[in-house]
Structure 1
Amino acid sequence: MRRASVFSLLLVLLLLAWVTYVQAVEGSGFRDNSHNERTAISQYANPLGNIMAGGKPITGSTATTGDLKFKRTYQDGKVYAPVTGYASQSYGSNQLEALDRTVLDGSDSRLKNPLEALTREPSKPGDVMTTIDPAVQKAAYKGLGNNTGAAVALDPETGKVLALASTPSYDPSAFSGSGTSDQKAWLKLSKDKDQPMLNRALRQTYPPGSAFKLVVAAAALEDGLYSSVDEPTKSPDPYRLPGTVTDMKNENASAPCKNATIRTALQYSCNTVFAKMAVNLGESKLGAEAKKLGFDRSELDIPVRAAKSVYPSGMDDSQTALSGMGQFDVTATPLQMAMVSSAIANDGKLMKPYEVDRTTDGSAGALDRTDPETFTQAMSESTAKELRSAMQTVVQKGTGTNAKIPGVEVGGKTGTAQHGENNSGNPFAWFVSYADDGSGHKVAVAVVVEDSDAPRADISGGGLAGPIAKSMMSAAVDGGAAS
Structure 2
Amino acid sequence: MTRYIRHAAAFCALLLVALLANASRIQVVQAPAYDDNPANRRQDIARYSQPRGDILVDGRPVTGSKDTGEQLRYERTYDNGPLYAPVTGFVSQRYGSSFLEDTEDGTLAGTDPMLSPFPLWNDFTRARSPGGDVVTTLDGAAQRAAYEGLADRKGAVAALEPATGRVLALVSTPSYHPETLSGNAPSVTRSWLELQQDPDKPMLNRAVRQTYPPGSTFKVLTAAAALDAGVIRNVDARTRSPDPYTLPGTRTTLRNTARNCRNASLRVAFEWSCNTVFAKLGVDVGVTGMAATAQAFGFNDAGLRIPFAVSASTFDTTVDRAQLALSSIGQYNTRATPLQMAMVAAAVANGGQLRQPYLVERTTTHRGATVASAGGRPVRQTMYPSTARRLRELMRDVVEHGTGANAAIRGTTVGGKTGTAQHGIGNAGTPYAWFVGWAQPAGDPVPKVAVAVVVEDSNAHRGDISGGGLAAPLARAVMTAALGP
TM range (shorter): over 0.9
2:168 to 162, 184, 194: 162
- Residue 393 of structure 1 aligns to a residue whose secondary structure is helix
In the alignment, which residue of structure 1 is the partner of 2:367? 363
Aligned twin of 1:127: 133
Aligned residue number for residue 303 of structure 1: 307
Q: Which amino acid aligns with 2:291?
A: G
Distance 1:319 1:122, change over 3 A: closer
Taking the aligned partners of 1:382 and 1:231, their CA distance within structure 2 comes to: 17
What SS does the aligned partner of 2:232 have? coil
How far residue 65 of structure 1 moved from its aligned partner, in angstroms, is 2.9
Q: TM-score, normalised by structure 1?
A: 0.93
Range moving further from structure 2, 443-452 or 338-347: 443-452
Q: Take 1:317 and 1:307, find their aligned partners in 2: how far apart are those partners?
A: 27
> Deviation at 1:16?
5.9
Pairwise mapping of residues 151-300 of structure 1 onto structure 2 (< 5 A)?
151-252=157-258, 255-300=259-304
Mind listing any 5+ residue stretches in structure 2 that lack a counterpart? 1-6
Aligned residues of 1:349 and 1:374 also touching (Cα < 8 A)? no
What's the CA shift string for 1:22-69, capped at 9, x where partnerless? 644564565466664222211111111100011100101111131011
- Checking the alignment, whether the CA contact within 8 Å between 2:411 and 2:442 is kept in structure 1 is no
> How far apart are residue 318 of structure 1 and its match?
0.5
Which residue of the partner structure matches residue 382 of structure 1?
A: 386
Cα–Cα, structure 1 residues 29 and 212, in superposed 2: closer, same or farther, change >3 Å? farther
Task: Say if 1:351 and 1:372, in contact at 8 Å, map to a contact too.
Answer: no
Structure 1 residues 18 and 121 mapped into 2: Cα distance closer, same or farther (>3 Å)?
A: closer
Secondary structure of the structure 1 residue equivalent to 2:131: coil
Q: How many angstroms apart in 2 are the aligned matches of 1:52 and 1:170?
A: 19
Q: How far apart, in 2, do the equivalents of 1:296 and 1:153 lie?
A: 21
> Contact 1:87 / 1:98 at 8 angstroms: preserved in 2?
yes
Secondary structure of the corresponding residue to residue 128 of structure 1? strand
1:152–1:445 CA contact under 8 A, matched in 2:
yes
The aligned counterpart of 1:140 is: 146
**Which residue number corresponds to residue 79 of structure 1?**
83
> What is the aligned length?
473
Percent pairwise identity: 50
> 1:110 corresponds to which letter in structure 2?
M
Residue identity matched to 2:462: R
1:234 counterpart letter in structure 2:
R
Report the CA distance shift for 1:200/1:29 in structure 2 as closer, same or farther (over 3 A): farther
Helix, strand or coil at the partner of 1:446? strand
* Contact 1:228/1:386, CA 8 A, preserved across alignment: no
Q: Which moved more, 1:449-458 or 1:405-414?
A: 449-458
| 1:68 counterpart = 2:68 | no
User: Contact 1:399–1:462 (CA<8 Å) still a contact in 2?
Assistant: yes
Q: Which residue of 1 aligns with 2:457?
A: 451
Go from structure 1 to structure 2 and tell me whether the alpha carbon gap of 1:316 and 1:27 turns closer, same or farther (over 3 Å shift): same
Q: Deviations over 1:349-403 (max 9, x none)?
A: 0000000000001223111000232331001111111001001111111111110
Matched-pair contact (CA < 8 Å) for 1:168–1:196: yes
Which of 389, 412, 421 is the equivalent residue of 1:408? 412
Specify the SS of the correspondent of 2:159. Answer: strand
The answer (yes or no) to whether the contact 2:455–2:470 under 8 Å persists in 1 is yes
1:184-226 deviation line (CA, Å, top 9, x unaligned): 1111111111110011101111111111000000001111111
- Equivalents in 1 of 2:38, 2:136: separation in Å? 27
After superposition, the Cα gap between the structure-2 partners of 1:248 and 1:29, relative to the gap in structure 1 and judged at 3 Å, is farther
Displacement of 1:285: 0.5
Aligned-residue offset at 1:439:
4.4
Q: Secondary structure at the match of 2:476?
A: helix
Assess if the C-alpha contact under 8 Å between 1:140 and 1:163 holds in 2.
yes
Query: How far apart are the structure 1 equivalents of 2:227 and 2:430?
Result: 33
Q: Residue 281 and residue 120 in structure 1: after superposition, are their counterparts in 2 closer, same or farther (change >3 A)?
A: closer
Match of 1:373 in 2: 377
Larger radius of gyration: 2
